[in-house]
């Protein structure tokens, strides 16, 4: 296997001929980082293209990711506007068209894990610019339709009570939308609960971006299995398929969710975990990420590592990427 470091230099790690340990072979390569994030976890280095089908995963900040294979791009919770704290407190929020064009130039699918502003603000703008189809809750549907996204390009994936999770096939991707939950991070309560029903007032203020239904997203593509958990809470019963190759795991609010690291380990047994939503999202994407101390990333990493000793745990720099 060829591991690529941050400068683009490659070296053979000697693991390409050993098929005895599937967990090690399928997990992304890790390198020891320098700088502030070394207190949180290792830093993932990009992994070389696998013949016939590598999957590229790029971190867009917060819980946002771009996942690409065979020319098809799936965006999850893409929030690239990064409005300042002052704007979030005092103004209606408007997507930054330049940031959208620069950081989300292509998309075939956009997924809203839930509809707080730091997950959903940019989704309609990206959909209108790229022609992508949006998958999300009824709140996401209302937000997109109120923003002018054609109804034919918006899919409601909330299942009927007792029904099976919605599954969508898009190109080489299979997407499964699993019921999940939001961390009760505001004094034991979910911030801005409820649904977005009336979008006549777009643009909205931050507090009008109600949470809506919450989903974990299971992705299968090119023989790889990924899971996106965009809030630091989960519904264990949703997960009937364990050992994803990569878990994209939200950090924000994890201390408010009882036994969160241990429950994640039991429910999923991931081969590798990429931590997200630990960054100060009031700062622009073109500045280095700043880890918020309240996130307690080092403590999360330590507990998750104890609960799942074979799991690799890491982070990426803003707009960094890896291949699996």
Please give the Cα distance from 78 to 66 (Å, whole number): 8
- In the three-class reduction of DSSP (H, G, I as helix; E, B as strand; rest coil), residue 250 is classed as strand
pLDDT at 36: 33
Please give the Cα distance from 31 to 303 (Å, whole number): 20
Q: What's the CATH number of domain 28-45+56-319, 3.30.360.10, 1.10.10.10, 3.60.15.10, 3.40.50.10860? A: 3.60.15.10
For residue 177, with 0-12 CB atoms within 10 Å meaning exposed, 13-18 middle and 19 or more buried, which class applies? buried
Euclidean distance between the first and the last CA atom of the chain, given in angstroms as a whole number:
11
Asked if 64 contacts 57 with a C-beta cutoff of 8 angstroms, the reply is no
Rounded to 5 degrees, what are φ and ψ at 173? -95, 135
Exposure string of 251-277, with b = 16+ CB inside 10 Å and e = fewer, is bbbbbbbeebbebbbebbbbbbbbbbb
Please give the Cα distance from 283 to 324 (Å, whole number): 29
Mean pLDDT along residues 220-243? 94
Tallying the residues shown for the chain, one arrives at 324
Radius of gyration, alpha carbons of the chain: 19
Please give the Cα distance from 158 to 141 (Å, whole number): 11
Asked if 191 contacts 207 with a C-beta cutoff of 8 angstroms, the reply is no
Please state whether beta strands 154-156 and 166-170 pair in parallel, antiparallel, or not at all (unpaired): unpaired
Judged against a pLDDT cut of 70, whether residue 8 lies above it is answered with no
DSSP 45: P
Comparing 29-33, 42-46, 91-95, 130-134, the range with the smallest average pLDDT is: 29-33
Alpha-carbon torsion (268, 273, 279, 281), positive or negative: negative
CB atoms within 10 A of CB 137: 25
Report residue 100's pLDDT band, with 50, 70 and 90 as the boundaries: very high
What angle, rounded to 10 degrees, do the helices at 260-268 and 297-307 form?
A: 40
Judged against a pLDDT cut of 60, whether residue 52 lies above it is answered with no
Please give the Cα distance from 98 to 24 (Å, whole number): 40
For the chain, the domains span 28-45+56-319
Supply 5's token pair. Answer: 């470091």
pLDDT in tens, 166-190: 999 999 999 999 999 999 999 899 9
Mean pLDDT along residues 122-147? 98
Asked if 286 contacts 1 with a C-beta cutoff of 8 angstroms, the reply is no
pLDDT at 11: 31
pLDDT at 44: 54
Asked if 43 contacts 246 with a C-beta cutoff of 8 angstroms, the reply is no
Please give the Cα distance from 83 to 90 (Å, whole number): 11
Mean pLDDT along residues 11-21? 38
């Amino acid at each position: 296997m060829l591991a690529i470091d941050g400068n683009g230099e490659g070296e053979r790690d000697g693991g390409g001929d050993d098929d005895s340990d599937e967990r090690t072979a399928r997990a992304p390569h890790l390198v020891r980082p320098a700088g502030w994030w070394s207190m949180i976890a290792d830093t993932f280095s990009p992994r070389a293209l696998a013949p016939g089908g590598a999957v590229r995963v790029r971190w867009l900040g917060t819980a946002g990711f771009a996942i690409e294979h065979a020319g098809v791009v799936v965006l999850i919770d893409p929030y690239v506007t990064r409005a300042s704290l002052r704007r979030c407190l005092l103004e209606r929020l408007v997507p930054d068209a330049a940031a959208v064009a620069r950081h989300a130039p292509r998309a075939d699918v956009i997924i809203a894990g839930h509809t707080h502003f730091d997950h959903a603000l940019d989704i309609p703008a990206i959909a209108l610019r790229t022609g992508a189809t949006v998958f999300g809750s009824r709140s996401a549907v209302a937000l997109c339709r109120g923003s002018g996204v054609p109804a034919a390009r918006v899919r409601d994936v909330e299942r009927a009570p007792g029904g099976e999770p919605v599954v969508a096939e898009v190109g080489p991707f299979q997407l499964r939308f699993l019921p999940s939950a939001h961390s009760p991070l505001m004094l034991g309560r979910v911030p801005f609960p409820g649904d977005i029903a009336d979008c006549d007032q777009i643009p909205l203020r931050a507090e009008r971006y109600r949470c809506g239904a919450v989903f974990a997203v299971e992705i299968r593509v090119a023989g790889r299995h990924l899971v996106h958990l965009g809030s630091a809470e989960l519904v264990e019963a949703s997960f009937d398929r364990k050992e994803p190759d990569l878990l994209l795991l939200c950090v924000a609010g994890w201390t408010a969710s009882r036994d969160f690291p241990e429950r994640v380990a039991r429910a999923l047994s991931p081969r590798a975990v990429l931590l997200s939503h630990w960054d100060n999202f009031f700062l622009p994407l073109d500045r280095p990420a700043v880890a918020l101390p309240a996130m307690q990333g080092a403590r999360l990493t330590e507990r998750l590592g104890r609960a799942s000793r074979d799991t690799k745990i890491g982070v990426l720099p803003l707009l960094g990427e890896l291949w699996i």
